[in-house]
């Protein structure tokens, strides 16, 4: 039990995702679709499969797009 306590106390956050591993689509590709094709995010999800299987990438994708939008403004 002591070992588990040591790991729990560290609470190391996993690195941010940069792609949808399930669909093999990078967040940069999603952003490019948004910019060049004028598609809605839901349309890109449907077209690429991004965010459709396990959905683990969605929080990091939203953060990535928000940061990108904020730096473009």
Percent of the chain with pLDDT over 90: 62
**Two tokens, residue 23:** 């669909």
Give CA–CA dist 17/65, Å, rounded. Answer: 12
Site of tokens 């094709």:
37
DSSP strand E in 1-73: where? 19-20, 25-26
The alpha carbon dihedral of 31, 34, 35, 37 has a sign of positive
Please tell me the pTM assigned to this model. 0.77
CA neighbor of 63 nearest in space, from 23, 18, 8: 18
Q: What is the pLDDT along the chain (73 residues), one digit of tens a residue?
A: 455 655 556 677 788 999 999 999 999 999 999 988 888 999 999 999 999 999 999 999 999 999 998 887 6
């Amino acid at each position: 039990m002591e070992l588990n306590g040591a790991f729990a106390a560290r609470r190391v956050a996993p690195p941010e995702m940069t792609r949808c591993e399930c669909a093999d689509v990078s967040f940069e590709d999603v952003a490019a679709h948004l910019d060049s094709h004028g598609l809605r995010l839901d349309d890109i999800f449907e077209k690429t499969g991004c965010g459709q299987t396990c959905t683990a990438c969605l929080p990091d994708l939203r953060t990535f797009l928000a940061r990108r939008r904020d730096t473009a403004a």
